[in-house]
Structure formats: C-alpha cells, structure tokens
Amino acid sequence: MSGLLGIEDLDRGFIQSILDRAADFQVKDGGSTFQKLNTLQGKTLVNLFFEASTRTRTSFEIAAKRLGCDTISITASGSSVSKGESLVDTLATLAAMRPNAIVMRHAASGAPHFLQRHLNIPIVNAGDGLHEHPTQALLDARTILDRRRSLSGLRVAIIGDIAHSRVARSNIHLLSKFDAHVVLCGPAPLLPPELARLAPGVILTTDMREAIQRADVVMMLRVQLERITEAAFPAGEYFKFYGLRAEHLHLANPEVLVMHPGPINRGREISSEVADSKASMILNQVENGIAVRMAVLERILQQ
Ligand code: CP
C-alpha cells in the first residue's frame, strides 16, 4: 500500500484488517483517552486541507500524535496557494521537505490520484470533491460493527444530498463489498440515477419513508449548499420531505442506528430530537475517526 486514495480499489481483506486494527486502538471501558504509543516516532505527516474541516483534520492530527508521529497542518488560506502557487508546485514543495506522507483534502475530484502519480510519497485522501472520502467510510463501518456482528445483510439507507456526497460514494463501495443492501434516497435533483451502477444491488428512491422502512442503519447527509449553484428545491421544504424526525424511526428496525458524517445542520436534514437520541451514533463516529485513522497511518507509515 502506498497511500489511501479510495475504497473502490481496496479488497475486502484489506478493509477488514484496517477495521480490526482500529478496534485495537479504541478507548476501552474505563479509559479516558486513546493509547499513547511511539510506533511512528521519527515520522512526519503533513495535513494539507484545501477545504474546511473540523473532524477529519483534527482526528488525523490526534491519530498521528497518539502514535508518536510529528504533524504539520496547512490550510489553503494560510499557504502560498493564496499567492497563486499551483497544486503540483505546492505538493512538490512539501514533498521536498521529506515528510513521510501527506493527508490531503481538495475540492477537485481526483486531485490526490493525480498527485500520487507525480510524487513518490504516500498520499491519503481526506476527501476529494464529489469522489471519495475513504477514512469516513472506514470509520462508519467500524461504528456499525461496534453494534452489529456483521455488515452482511444489513439494510443501510443513505438519505440527503447524494449527488454531492463523497461520503455516500465511499460508503456505497465499502458496504457493497461486505454484502450490505444500500438504499439511496433524496430529492430527484440530488439523486443521480448513475449512482445505482456504482455497485450491484444499490436501490434509489425519492420516498424517504420507503428508504427507512426496515432499515438497520440510517445515514443522513448534509445538503452541500456550497456545491449547489441553483436551488434544487424550494427553501424551507427540505426538512418537511427529507429531514429525519422521531416519527420516521418507527418505520425502521427497532434497533436502528442513526449516523451522520457531520457537520450536522439541525432542523435542515435532522431534528435535534433524533440527533441527540439513543439511536444516534454521531459522536461515536467522531471517536472512531481517531481509531481508524491510527490504523490507516500505522499501515502507511510502517511500510
Ligand atoms: N465528516 C467530515 O469529513 O467532517 P469534516 O468536514 O469536519 O472533516
């Protein structure tokens, strides 16, 4: 493994090994924080974020530090990108400083793949445009497996702005590789039919109640207003048709897990009542983000 660019090209055995290793890093009963190890002592990680992030950037940094790895975080606004430096020149400059890996988020789909072809340094994709967000899918799988024995046979409804979601794409790939049944749901302008071809058996519906019916997991997605140029639906209507409320949970499996990659918009795609309910895994996902990223960094940096 050189870096981690997406879930699509990973095999099931590799994904399972990352999920199993992440479980070793989880905070166990009675623990107050993640273990401090020195397995990556002497290594340096650059976190390069061209788009905003709270969870991914912070958790990569904490994960690296818990393993003894030095980290440097750079945002586009604080770098010479704001002075017109190109992406290739920026990455080549950082690579010349000899970090051991670069974690990168970029608005352009395929940006990390392009750079990986030009640089002899592992690149970890922390979200590229509308394409993939592999560590999010891994931490989502870890979160489900903390509560369910297997992903196989689970009905997972992914609801919201599917069109602009790299989280949805990575989860479709991962869940399908493990034989879960994926249902995609959203308003028609945000639900591209071609996504049904990403993996066998993926179902699309614009009816939120149909999607949630007998669901074992409901993953809600934010409407990515920053990527939408024309209003896809009348303002104020979204929550009425696609906002998750307590009444919906009665349609699902009684033990349903409610997930959301964050950031959540209360009252737009999810009610506070559901976000703060016992079914909500939202903060468990955030916590697992550190364990999963420790497992990914260990794998990449110990090569
Ligand atoms: N889930 C996620 O990618 O969150 P951030 O944008 O805060 O990193």
**Amino acid residing at 97:** M
For the chain, 303 residues long, give each residue's pLDDT as a single digit of tens.
589 999 999 999 999 999 999 999 999 987 889 999 999 999 999 999 999 999 999 999 999 999 999 999 998 887 888 788 988 899 899 999 999 999 999 999 999 999 899 899 999 999 999 999 999 999 999 999 999 999 999 999 999 999 999 999 999 999 999 999 999 999 999 999 999 999 999 999 999 999 999 999 999 999 887 777 666 666 678 999 999 999 999 999 999 999 999 999 999 999 999 999 999 999 999 999 999 999 999 999 997
One fold for both 12-132+287-301 and 134-285? Answer: yes
Q: Which residue from 50, 54, 219, 269 has its CB within 8 A of the most atoms of ligand 1, so it is best to mutate? A: 54
What are the structure tokens assigned to 229, written together?
């140029």
Three-state secondary-structure class, residue 41? coil
pTM for the full predicted model = 0.96
The answer, yes or no, to whether any atom of ligand 1 lies below 6 A from the CB of 226, is no
Q: Which top CATH class is 134-285?
A: alpha beta
- Cα gap 288→58, rounded to integer Å: 13
Phi then psi for residue 22, to 5 deg, are -60, -35
Going by C-alpha positions, the residue among 303, 277, 302, 300 that lies closest to residue 124 is 300
**Domain layout of the chain by residue ranges:** 12-132+287-301, 134-285
Q: How far is CA 216 from CA 33, 100, 181, 211, 256, in A?
A: 29, 40, 10, 11, 5
Following CA atoms 102, 107, 108, 111 in sequence, which dihedral angle do they give, to the nearest 10 degrees? 0
CATH 3.40.50.1370 assigned to 12-132+287-301: yes
Nearest CA owner, ligand 1 atom 6: 53
